[in-house]
Structure 1
């Protein structure tokens, strides 16, 4: 009889025990979700800033990135153009671009950058840069214009305008975008912009006002003005200002890149991503850069 009563009591307690287990399991899942896996969009990486980062093909083979931005075309606007890939053999890049695209990755070219020699002093300079980009990297081709990547055609241009005057980038954007009328079903020339944290970014304000940019990468690093307490609010301002563009969070993959701005994947997920990834035009995460990500495996935590 005693054994029967004990067994009966155990059975009565079982539902409560099961409920407790379910609650604990759910709490663990919620805690894990708050720490990782909060990037519900694209993962964009900048490549071309350090020879030790590996080739473009190796970058795409990681499987961790949806878009690779080659950086930088760092001189333009004054009659000469300079592509700086930090010692990577340019002759190998064309085949790697095609390989990445065959794997479903987008490959863009960033113009501008940090420490370059560039500006667009006139409407003619904007027209000249358009002609050069179209014929040297995009779908054009003209006798006398050297194509550094051979017959490989990149998917678009990133405006990474971090210095110099602000004029005429809107004209460049319009000229580049016009080519999309020649493509069906897909965007032939994707336009993206990498902006500073604080809204607005005066260097790109006129260009972004065209409404032609598919993505905006908001750098939460690089200028010392994006404090920990303002990061989320700044991103939300950008997302609200450009509802028709996908807006991505830009972060560094290592404190080596920017110690003050660095956020661990856990911090990024918990403090920022789990809130902003609910926005309608949240686009994902942009990571600076492949060299640092290779060392830290940062994107594996997103």
Structure 2
């Protein structure tokens, strides 16, 4: 499946973390060791470590995403920096680093790492919080845009607006399509805007209540217009 999608031009990133508790990276060494382990297991590390456990065989993901919502956080900058060093070992393709912070700024768990390491994409969760897209006056994309131009190490970092794919996809923050379109259109001219992130795709494809044939296609059309 990974290779099939990649042959269609789709990038595959492995996301770490989530809402489940009992994880974290507490030290520089833990961060660097985790980067090496994930690189050998899912990235191009099999080329240097022939004995590495490879659940996907020689298929390699296109990068890693930090969706950190719990636990110790001090080792994530070291993780990103070490992973970037590993990326340089495989020049056969481009690899990416992404993060999925929650919208309150700065994010408690990855805010420091976002300032201290190089990210290609930041897919902000604009739901389940006061700064969600659905709350027009509190929607704080402008704050993240200011960070992208002033604080991000990568001045070409791309920001994605994260939204639920249906009313049941998140606790709160689902955006009816008409409202979503009115919020997204002004962002499309901003240098930082990269697109829309949906949690999750299956919910968006099954959601036909606001736009036809489905919410996912509506988002595609909105971005392409």
So what's the TM-score if we normalise by structure 1? 0.63
Partner SS for 2:189 = coil
Cα deviation, residue 229, structure 1: 3.0
CA shift at 1:107, angstroms? 0.4
Distance change >3 Å, CA 144–CA 181, structure 1 → 2:
closer
In the TM superposition, structure 1's runs of 4+ consecutive aligned residues that sit over 6 Å from their partners are none
Q: Which runs of 5+ in 2 are unaligned?
A: 150-154, 208-213, 220-225
- Measured in 1, the distance between the counterparts of 2:32 and 2:192 equals 31
Larger Rg: 1
What secondary structure sits across from 2:44 in the alignment?
coil
Candidates 31, 38, 57, aligned match of 1:133: 38
What is the correspondence of 1:16-27 to structure 2 with a 5 Å cutoff? Answer: none
Q: Post-superposition shift, 1:102?
A: 0.4
Aligned partners of 2:93 and 2:218: how far apart in 1? 31
**Equivalent-residue separation in structure 2 for 1:291 and 1:118 (angstroms):** 26
- In the alignment, structure 1 segments of 5+ residues that lack a partner are 1-95
Q: Work out which of the residue numbers 134, 138, 147 in structure 2 matches 1:241.
A: 147
Task: Summarize the Cα distance change of 1:180–1:196 in structure 2 as closer, same or farther, 3 Å threshold.
Answer: same
Aligned counterparts of 2:3 and 2:106: Cα–Cα separation in 1: 36
CA contact (8 A) 2:165 2:174 kept: yes
Which residues in structure 2 correspond to 1:1-302 (within 5 Å)?
96-141=1-46, 142-182=49-89, 184=91, 187=94, 189-222=95-128, 224-227=129-132, 228-232=135-139, 234-243=140-149, 244=155, 245-258=157-170, 260-270=172-182, 272-296=183-207, 297-302=214-219
Alpha-carbon distance in 1 for matches of 2:70, 2:61: 24
Superposition TM-score, scaled by structure 2 size: 0.84
- CA drift at 1:181: 3.1
Pairs aligned (count) = 203
